[in-house]
Structure formats: C-alpha cells, structure tokens
Structure 1
Amino acid sequence: MRVEDAQPQLLTCLQEAGQEPSRLDPQPTWRAFGRFMRHPVEAEEDALLYEYGIFSFRGPRRFTLSFCRQFDVDEDNPPALIQLRCEIEYEPTPALEALGSHNQWWSGAEGEPSLAVMLDKIECRSEWKVIGAHRPVCSSVYQERPC
C-alpha cells in the first residue's frame, strides 16, 4: 500500500473491528491496529510505537494510550516523517497515574523480534487490565508530520 492509502486502510481495519475513531475501545483497537501493521507500505522505513502516560499535549492533562505507525518517506529532500495515530484518552486516576509512562518502538530492524511477536508481547503487558477498568473520555485517529 502507498503511504497515502494508510489512513483509509487503518479506518477500514477499525471499522471491521466495530470501532469508531471517536469511541475507541483499547483492546479491539489494538488488535485492529495489529492487523493494519501487517499491511506492507511503500516507505523508506516503517515503525510501530506503543506508548502511554499522563500528557497534556492538546488540552487538559490526560492519561493517553497511543498506537502509532511512523513512515519515513523520501518525498523530496529532506525526507519526511508521517505518523498515523490511534489515541485513547482517560481522566487521570490514581491507578492510571501509578502506571507511569512507557514507550516501545519496533522497526523490524535486524535483531528485533518479528512483528507478530512484538504485537503479542505488547498485548500481554500488565497495564491492559488497569486501562480496561477505565472508561475513555475521548479518542481519535489522525495523521501528522511530527517534524
């Protein structure tokens, strides 16, 4: 798939999982994101970022769970980074605050586990139980150029 087709493909994967961008449920969204990651893309580099923590990037202080696919595309000089994100936000609670923050990158580089192994490792992490006990206040799917 071409990079410009990535967001529609992600939205299709989410829709097939019964997820709407403004009302994402974390585990079905993660599984849909994993299916989306399995679609090859025409890019110089293709990476996965899984992260969570308390942030206030676009508004009030919130616990944010984020799944990001980052493409390095060689449009012109210099190359551009494009990030396609699913973000799920929660009101900070003591239990969510206790999770702290975490980020984990995967790029398929030599020595890294396979994508399937990485997706499974992330899905088995302990924070899913804590996060699943909370109701999101909002969610979104968007594409951006971080730099």
Structure 2
Amino acid sequence: MPNRPRLEEALDFLRAELASGQSETTERTTRGAWLAFMRFGRRRFDTAPTPDSDGLLFQYGTYAFSGRPMFTVDLTRQFDVTDDDGEHDHYVQVHCELRYEPEPDLDALGSFDSWFFHDADAGLDEWFAAMEGRLAQLLDRRPSEIDLYEEPV
C-alpha cells in the first residue's frame, strides 16, 4: 500500500506515540499509554490485503512472566508476515505491556482478552471504547513497569 509505513517500523511508531506529550518530569499513566496505543492502532501499516493481516489485541490478567506475579495489561498489535508468494509465513507482535503490583482489586478483575482486526471487523472506535471501559479503574494509575517489545510468533 502506498504511503503506509513498513511493518519493520511499527515498534518505532509505538515508541514515538508513547513518548509524545511526555516530559522528563511527567509520570506515565495507564491513560497516557492507552491513548498512545489508540493512536498507534489507528495508523495503518503496509500489510497484506487479507482480513487477519493487522490485528489489535487487548488482554490482562495476573501473571508471573518476569518471575513474580504482576497484574499485566498487554496492548498488542499483530501483523501477518507473508513470503514472496504472498502466503502466510509468520506473525509479528508489537507489545506495550503495563505491569502493576498485585492488589486484591486488580486480582478480582480476573483475566480478559479481545481482538480487533482491521479490514475484518467494523467499529474500531466502539472496540476502543469497550476496551477503555475495561481499563476504567487503572486509567489514572501509574504502572510499576512499561515494556515495549516486538516478537515473532
């Protein structure tokens, strides 16, 4: 697609969105990360013209990925990477993980996940609004950690 950034640039775009509006003295809140992810999620990248080539994943739960349990909100963008013949080769996921110290009210949220696919699902604004509702009690909190990374899956 013309005028669309390459998939290899996605992590840099997410980093730039997260950094925009931040100063050295501004604490990063969940709201700031969520707004950055929404801007990132609206930007279209040069993907294959298939319904599952560009997806957004919102998920949370209490996990011990880093060795100790943390309540984790994982905001993910998944791209389908195709080979030279246009066939599926693998996926690349770009993550923005927000981690919080475990608390009873966060543990009570349990776990949740929801997908949105550009070119397959209608209503990106509605999906964003529904996911933001799931974040309501976290929006003004400051995560203990924010991790941005990319991985093939």
Pairwise TM-score range, normalised by the shorter structure = 0.7 to 0.9
Letter in 1 for 2:152: R
Q: How does 1:124-139 map to 2 (within 5 A)?
A: 125-129=133-137, 131-132=138-139, 134-139=141-146
Would you identify which runs of 4 or more consecutive aligned residues in structure 1 move more than 2 Å?
75-78, 131-136
CA RMSD for the aligned pairs? 2.2
TM-score by length of 2: 0.81
1:6 aligns with 2:10: yes
Question: Per-residue displacement from partner, 1:66-102 (whole Å, max 9, x unpaired)?
Answer: 1000001114665111000100111111111100010
TM-score by length of 1: 0.85
Aligned match of 2:69: 61
Aligned residues with identical type, % of pairs:
33
Q: Structure 2: 5+ residue runs without aligned partners? A: none
Question: Per-residue displacement from partner, 1:29-88 (whole Å, max 9, x unpaired)?
Answer: 111111111111112300000011011123211100110000011146651110001001
Question: Per-residue displacement from partner, 1:83-126 (whole Å, max 9, x unpaired)?
Answer: 0010011111111110001001001354x332222112212x14
1:93 aligns with 2:103: yes
Q: Structure 1: 5+ residue runs without aligned partners? A: none
Aligned match of 1:52: 60
Contact 2:75-2:95 at 8 Å conserved across structures: yes
